[in-house]
Amino acid sequence: MAEEQKPVQKKMMMVLICWFAGTLGIHRLMMGYSNWWLMLITAGGCGIWTLYDLIMIFTDKMPMADGRPLEK
């Protein structure tokens, strides 16, 4: 059975969620990534992965997990 596609998220919403709750991996969960729990158990790589994701989302280099770009 095919997995349901997540709705395309808004870019600024993902930036804000990553900034305020990035260490929990919530932004990755909302974007459909299956490895979001790694950020939760490592506290966002002690902030390093969170900062990396924030930059990648802000520069449009981190799309949804299925490859669709984030909404502007």
Q: Give me the domain span that covers residue 48.
A: 11-58
- 16-47 pLDDT tens trace: 999 998 888 888 999 998 888 888 788 767 88
CA 72 – CA 19 distance, rounded (Å): 17
CA 23 – CA 4 distance, rounded (Å): 26
CA proximity to 47, closest of 15, 24, 16, 29? 24
Q: Is residue 6 part of a domain?
A: no
In contact, 34 and 65? CB cutoff 8 Å: yes
Q: Is residue 18 part of a domain?
A: yes
Q: Is residue 71 part of a domain?
A: no
Q: Is residue 17 part of a domain?
A: yes
Residue 43 is given by DSSP the state: H
Q: 3-state DSSP helix/strand/coil percent for the chain, to nearest 5? A: 55, 5, 40
**Model pTM greater than 0.85?**
no
How high is the pLDDT of residue 3?
Answer: 60
Domain count, the chain: 1
